[in-house]
Structure formats: structure tokens, C-alpha cells
């Protein structure tokens, strides 16, 4: 394989892995990060830390066939996609004032403790799955 093909393959692998990595981190963060912020700011606070963590994978000593520069570049389209996804979701559920909220919609924006409990439950479930796989 030529060096250009290797670089493109590494970039494609970084982009694909970044899509999954950012999705997992952003899905956890959306439960308790910037809950009272407007939709655009909340989407940014949900995706930006995930993108930053993914981009920092390039500083690991050995990332296999993925070059160090491919992580921040490959993660950018994935971050843009997830930002758009979360922005649409947050805009759908945003109300400008408390009077605009219908009676059947519960107000849960201040309930960050439930978000942390959900995250802890997901972590425990992942740990149990990992332990079950390791025992076989």
C-alpha cells in the first residue's frame, strides 16, 4: 500500500472510531451537562468535551495503523454530525418560558442527579458485561 493510501485508511479508521467514541461520551454527558443552557450552547457543551477526548487520542504513544494527526481531523466530521443531532433534539424540547410548557410535560431540567445515576447505572452494566465476557 502506498503512503497516501495508508494515510487515508488511517483517517477513515479514525473517523469511524470517532463516530462511536463521541456518540458514547455525548450520550452520557447530555444527562447532566448544561441542562439550563439554550439548545445551541447545550449541544456544544455535550459534544465539545467528547471531541476533545477523541482528539487527544492522537497523543497516545502507539495508536496502531492510525497516525497521530488523524484523530483530530477524523473526529471533526463525527463531532459536527453529533452536534447537529443533539442541537435538533434540544431545539425540539426547548421552551422559551415556563408558561409555554404544556401541563403534561414534566419539568426535569434541574434534575442532574438522575443523569448521574443513569450514567452510573450504564457504567455498572458495562462493567458486568465486561466481567461476564472475561470469564468465558
pLDDT of residue 83: 92
Average pLDDT, stretch 63-89? 87
Burial bucket for residue 132 (CB in 10 Å: 0-12, 13-18, 19+): exposed
84 pLDDT higher than 90: yes
Domain with 31, as residue range(s), is: 3-135
| Distance from C-alpha of 72 to C-alpha of 57, rounded to nearest angstrom | 8
- Give the residue-averaged pLDDT of 87-99: 77
Alpha-carbon Rg for the chain, nearest whole angstrom, is: 18
pLDDT-derived band at 129 (thresholds 50, 70, 90) equals confident
- The cell for 75 is 473526529
Q: Indicate the number of domains in the chain.
A: 1
Its pTM stands at 0.71
Amino acid at each position: 500500500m502506498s503512503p497516501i493510501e495508508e494515510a487515508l485508511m488511517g483517517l477513515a479508521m479514525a473517523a469511524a472510531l470517532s463516530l462511536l467514541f463521541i456518540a458514547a461520551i455525548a450520550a452520557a454527558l447530555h444527562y447532566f451537562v448544561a441542562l439550563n443552557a439554550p439548545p445551541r450552547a447545550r449541544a456544544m457543551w455535550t459534544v465539545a468535551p467528547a471531541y476533545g477526548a477523541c482528539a487527544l487520542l492522537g497523543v497516545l504513544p502507539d495508536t496502531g495503523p492510525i497516525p497521530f494527526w488523524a484523530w483530530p481531523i477524523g473526529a471533526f466530521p463525527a463531532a459536527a454530525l453529533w452536534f447537529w443531532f443533539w442541537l435538533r433534539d434540544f431545539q425540539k424540547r426547548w421552551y422559551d418560558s415556563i408558561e409555554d410548557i404544556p401541563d403534561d410535560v414534566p419539568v426535569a431540567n434541574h434534575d442532574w442527579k438522575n443523569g448521574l445515576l443513569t450514567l452510573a447505572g450504564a457504567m455498572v452494566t458495562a462493567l458486568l458485561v465486561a466481567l461476564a465476557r472475561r470469564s468465558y
